[in-house]
Amino acid sequence: MLERLTHKEFDQDCLHEVQDFDCGEEEWCASVSEWIKNGDAIKLMRKRKTKTFLYYNSENKVVGYGSIGTSSWKALFPEDPTKRILLLPFLGVQKSHQKKGYG
């Protein structure tokens, strides 16, 4: 059974907590890791009003993060109305916590 995670909203003051975040070696993993570490998450939060959350285990270690935002999406045909949708711009799980049921 998975342990219950706690979370808090990510902000500038949390940057030091994610500087060693690593979700793997693949190219896409490096992008996900860098996005949370280099301040791009903060920029997107300000520009697009997304929210990003850090998730912690019982030892108060960062297990991963997830971001959520909204966008307007036009369906397939020009006459279709534009709708608001939810987006998950990024989701990352620390390499040491992968394949354990998180994410």
Look up the CATH number of the domain holding residue 43. Answer: 3.40.630.30
Tell whether 1 is covered by a domain: no
Report the pLDDT value the prediction gives residue 22, as an integer from 0 to 100.
96
80 half-sphere exposure, CB direction, 13 A CA radius: 9
Instruction: Say which residues have a Cβ less than 8 Å from residue 49's Cβ, sequence separation at least 6.
Output: 69, 70
pLDDT digits (tens, 9 = 90+) for 25-78: 899 999 999 999 998 899 888 887 789 999 999 999 999 999 999 888 887 787
Report the pLDDT value the prediction gives residue 29, as an integer from 0 to 100.
92
Question: Tokens for 91?
Answer: 């989701």
Report the pLDDT value the prediction gives residue 79, as an integer from 0 to 100.
83
Tell whether 102 is covered by a domain: no
Tell whether 57 is covered by a domain: yes
pLDDT band at residue 103 using 50, 70 and 90 as cut-offs: low
Question: Tokens 């903060």 correspond to what residue?
Answer: 42
